[in-house]
Chain A
Amino acid sequence: MRFRRPGAAPAADDAADPARGIELRGVGHRYGERVVLDGIDLTLTEARVGVVGANGSGKSTLARLLNGLVVPTEGRVLVDGLDTRTQVRAVRRRVGFVFQDPDAQIVHPTVAEDVAYGLENQGVPPGERAARVAEVLARYGLAGHADHPAHLLSGGQKQLLAIAGVLVMRPARVVFDEPTTLLDLINARRVADVIAGLEQQVVVVTHQLDLLDGFDRVLVVDGGRVVEDAAPGPAVAAYRALMALR
């Protein structure tokens, strides 16, 4: 069991410098003998960053590095100057993460209770919690479903619920790993619009290239390396050319 003084977490945050963004320094990662990422040096400060690449190229591993779900076996990842290896809690408060499958992210039986979960973890008092939950549910069109069982929502509504559960915690940055893969065109559009409207810095891993319209920067990952790093137009062209060679 861990013992922690109430003041400990904010003290760590004081050292943070938001201007530094997300930094990867000589990052490599291996699962056992298998090298999944290698020699990655990046500084991500743009508001909209996309990541594309073939299946198994290492995109999800890269995304998981950004909030400390995966700690690199080589090098360091810093968020606002905070190391994901030593200050993982402070990092996770700053970087929200939305996964592909909403069913795995919704942990409470009803909609409002699930959105409140992260706030409970942060120790937000019940009154403020209820207000913030209501506000987020309204923003994502789920206000009428607050007390509904989560399993009765549609796929699109589930993904919006998963997003609401992350955004209610007000992270400064949000990482999305294939947020629209399981959705039909209409729901994918809705989620894309939600992502486009966020004031936070956003990193999106996706196979749906139109999601990257208007992005500031797109990384192409191949065989565990970043092989292209450019604006969406040239990056997507390079990705298509790369795939055409296979």
Chain B
Amino acid sequence: MTLALYVPGAGVVHRLPAAVKLLALVVLAVALFALPSVAAAGAALAGVVAVGLLVARLPVAVLARQARAVVWWLGALLAVHALTTDLRTGAHVALRLLTLVLAAAVVTATTRVSEMVRVVEALCTPLRLVGVRPARVGLAVAMALRFIPVLVERADRIRAAQAARGGSARGVRALRTTVAPLLVQVLQMAHDVSEALDARGADDDPSPRHRPQEAP
């Protein structure tokens, strides 16, 4: 299971506030689409890789893993454009995508989930007006990241248990025989997790950050 997650470090990029890094990501995305030149996209890619490897000092493997994850997409984009428009446009589009993916990887690898969650919560603050609790949104984001690997592991375990008893894990049938028991486990786990949240004071919310507006 390869989720781009935090790689501890103490450099400039790690110390930048999460909000700044996320904003930079947005600016980069806008710029990549506003400047329609392959040279600009190439320069941006070089810049992102330089920041990731030299400034943030991330292991090459962290970026390579993300690049590998989208390599089929890149190939497909190139192929589609080569057939419908021209190879140059295809290269440009693929370059843009790769640049953004790697930039996002640099941000996630240098930012703790909790800092990211803080930004999400801040962005959600206006939603208080309609009764949304930003802290809850933040928790949901963190929990999604936490439980994806858990679910993958449970699914693997189910497949292994079926294989051990001679079940074959292929095709639509295998999907059905894995999904049904996984769903049962997920529901059980959701119940267990909600109990654990209760036991750890999820309902307490006493800090100003969590507390809903006082009644007048």
Residues of A whose CB lies within 8 Å of any CB of B are 1-6, 9, 64, 67, 69, 89, 92-93, 96-97, 99, 101, 103-110, 113-114, 116-118, 120-123, 147, 149-151, 165-166, 169
Contacts and interface: CB of A to CB of B under 8 A. Distances in A.
B65 interface: no
A117 B112 contact: no
Given A2-B212, A121-B200, A108 B193 contact: no
A122 B206 contact: yes
B19 interface: no
B196 A105 contact: yes
A104 B196 contact: yes
B84 interface: no
B42 interface: no
Contact of B200 (A2, A101, A118): A118
Interface residues of B, number: 39
Nearest to A5: B214
A110 B199 contact: no
A119 B215 CA distance: 25
Contact of B201 (A92, A103, A113, A147): A92
A121 to B, nearest CB: 4
Given A69-B195, A147-B6, A110 B113 contact: yes
Nearest to B141: A109
Contacts of A109: 3, 5, 113, 142, 145-146
Interface in B97-156: 112-114, 131, 133, 139, 142-143, 145-146, 149-150, 153
B1 A151 contact: yes
A117 B198 CA distance: 12
B18 to A, nearest CB: 13
Interface of B: 1, 3, 5-6, 8, 112-114, 131, 133, 139, 142-143, 145-146, 149-150, 153, 189, 192-193, 195-207, 210-212, 214-215
B26 to A, nearest CB: 23
A113 B142 contact: yes
Contacts of B203: 89, 121
A122 B200 CA distance: 9
Contact of B199 (A2, A4, A69): A69
Nearest to B143: A107
B178 to A, nearest CB: 19
A239 to B, nearest CB: 27
A110 to B, nearest CB: 6
